[in-house]
Structure 1
């Protein structure tokens, strides 16, 4: 397997496909998945001649199942280790959900001189948790519930999560794909339970406000208005306002897992933004 060693000796798995001389696109996956969740996008952009790179977050997929470092600062530093190892420049970073937070923190803290553009899809910034300063956020009880179900029966919780709100399969008239559900479950079960448990705090309680304010590269913010995981009203429009050079695209009836359920629409939109 292709891995890079992070500063604290964690082995971070990555994929690196396509011509080494082509413009690179780096994909950041959501919780609790792996780089496999980007198959539809990586194959599409590989076919367009781009160099496509994606890693498994520490504790997830094929990366080291370590006991610590499951926070956004370490996530972003691990991305920097991959980027520097491959010496990627003029790079497009695309993050979904938790990966959107990771991508934003990477670009803000490590990406100077290397990043051309950023895309946030169904992403967790600016802040998911309800606080005095973020009154429309989700209450801590929501995230405590996720942790409780994960600890009680991770396998069942992940199957139910993929079968219902993640892809909008719980909506009237929806046609669930068992292959998609089982692929989500497969990815989730590859990771370490401790990393995924700690990751709930990372994606829900991290405030990305200052990261977004400091980002100067063109950024596309994409979100489905039927996202049941990261509610659109408290995420995408607020991120777009904080970013210096943003474009906001809200998609009617798209679920959180829009990169899979509406891959063709997402890929065309991404290509248009990248080539603009």
Structure 2
């Protein structure tokens, strides 16, 4: 475990597990409100399989510094690039959940994509993607009314975020998920800065990646659950259609938090993808 410092003075916490000698690294990026802890059930078993597994806390989340600004996708993408550079990671499989899928796309388009990215990225796994565009616009009539996002921010996030977490943890997981696991996830989310959550949510619900996705030529696996009520399957299907080297992996009966509920299948698929 340790910290890197970005060029705007923010310390980002990261954890680095497993084999650092010769193994292709897997870099995990967590969703909105969650931290590097969320990937523990991938990092531990994959480290046992000989992988090098790295995860970090986004600025304003978990153990990383809060900053007054910097929660747009450009800055957050630069933070991923800064971590890869600081640790000199090469041949990386980038794994992102929900919000993190947009950060990864922006990282590749800002810092070089091509067939092998800047030389650092070998492949991408996108879980519960927010791409290509969540909001309803004139040329995206199937999106969500932006007023609904604003209502969530003003009436729930800024009034009683802990209650919203409690009310919405069940759809994130499944019926077999223990009360203790649910508490662990919601407790993790409560470590994040409310200001960071507000600004990140604004970024998530307004960002348009439609022009960027065709430029991502590295092999990409888009993983999506049938019961995902946070990001509809149509987003995953449209993302795959826009990317030249992407495939969809559909998980029947899986929720948005499938990396927890369907961890055995997901871990096996991730390991095979990283070692391809």
TM-score, structure 2 length as denominator? 0.94
Within 5 Å, give how 1:211-230 maps onto structure 2. Answer: 211-230=212-231
> What residue number does 1:166 align with?
172
Say if 2:139 is the partner of 1:133.
yes
Within 5 Å, give how 1:58-97 maps onto structure 2. Answer: 58-97=59-98
> What residue number does 1:155 align with?
162
C-alpha distance in 2, partners of 1:117/1:73?
20
* Deviations 1:10-61 (CA, angstroms, capped at 9, x unpaired): 1111111122222100001001110111111111211111111111001011
Contact persistence 2:17–2:53 (CA under 8 A): yes
> What residue number does 1:193 align with?
194
C-alpha distance in 1, partners of 2:152/2:266?
28
CA RMSD of aligned residues (A): 1.3
DSSP-derived class of the 1:93 partner: strand
Runs of 4+ in 1 over 4 A off after TM superposition: none
> What residue number does 2:128 align with?
122
In the superposition, relative to structure 1, how do residues 166 and 107 fare at CA in structure 2: closer, same or farther (>3 Å)?
A: same
C-alpha distance in 2, partners of 1:221/1:200?
22
> What residue number does 1:20 align with?
20
C-alpha distance in 2, partners of 1:241/1:84?
31
C-alpha distance in 2, partners of 1:139/1:165?
21
C-alpha distance in 2, partners of 1:132/1:88?
41
C-alpha distance in 1, partners of 2:71/2:204?
10
* Deviations 1:145-177 (CA, angstroms, capped at 9, x unpaired): 321201101211122221x3222x4xxxx3442
* Deviations 1:172-216 (CA, angstroms, capped at 9, x unpaired): xx3442112111111111110000011111111111122211111
Deviation at 1:246, TM superposition (A): 0.9
C-alpha distance in 2, partners of 1:145/1:262?
32
TM-score, structure 1 length as denominator? 0.94
C-alpha distance in 1, partners of 2:129/2:266?
14
DSSP-derived class of the 2:82 partner: helix
Alignment size in residue pairs: 269
DSSP-derived class of the 1:54 partner: strand
Deviation at 1:140, TM superposition (A): 1.2
DSSP-derived class of the 2:139 partner: coil
> What residue number does 1:179 align with?
180
> What residue number does 1:259 align with?
259
> What residue number does 1:11 align with?
11
Q: Unpaired runs of 5+ in structure 2?
A: 112-116
